[in-house]
Amino acid sequence: MIAGFPGSARRMNAFVIDAFEFCRLKERREGEIPVADLPRLADESVDKIGVVRWVLEGGSDMRGHPQLVLTVSGALNLMCQRCLTPFAFEFDSGATLVLAKDEDGADAIDAQLADESVEVIVGGSSFDVSQVIEDEALLAIPLSPKHDVCPDPVAREAEQEVKKESPFAVLKKLKQ
């Protein structure tokens, strides 16, 4: 279930808002979206389990440009690229998004700001917030996810040996 945007139009998994009005009114919304409801993020997950918590605040920057401040956090299960076992990955990330009316305006504002920490995007009256939430969550996960410390390989191999007991060993136990 997607929460946090009462009164906004909802199409499938989309939160659609008027981004400029949201900023002008300095609105604030927050909610949670299951990882399974974010298809690109779910594809990165081992089991599609988890939730993305988000907060979106509208306002303007020091130059008066409409601005959205987005924070996302949560956890999902990723596959360790070193030991090839799943692990829980927690993330907490944020983005400042300055809005422009069109691509030319976005380029002009981007050149004006010259700030790598701020992203300039095209806003509109039917702005899909779920897309920027998913984008920010995707940017928060590593390109090559790994455990900080992989589980002990000897213990893991012993665990696998126990699971793969020989059929002859099973027969031997039956004879006794």
pLDDT of residue 13: 44
- Strand 118-122 relative to strand 86-100, pairing: parallel
- Beta-ladder partners of 31: 54
pLDDT at 11 exceeding the cut of 50: no
Reported as half-sphere exposure (CB side, CA atoms, 13 A), residue 154 has a value of: 0
Phi, psi torsion values for 10, nearest 5 degrees: -130, 120
The pLDDT confidence band at residue 109, using thresholds 50, 70 and 90, is confident
- CA 168, CA 121: separation in Å to the nearest integer? 65
Under the banding of pLDDT at 50, 70 and 90, the label for residue 9 is very low
Per-residue pLDDT of 134-160, as tens digits, reads 999 999 999 989 888 888 665 455 555
The residue-averaged pLDDT of 36-53 equals: 94
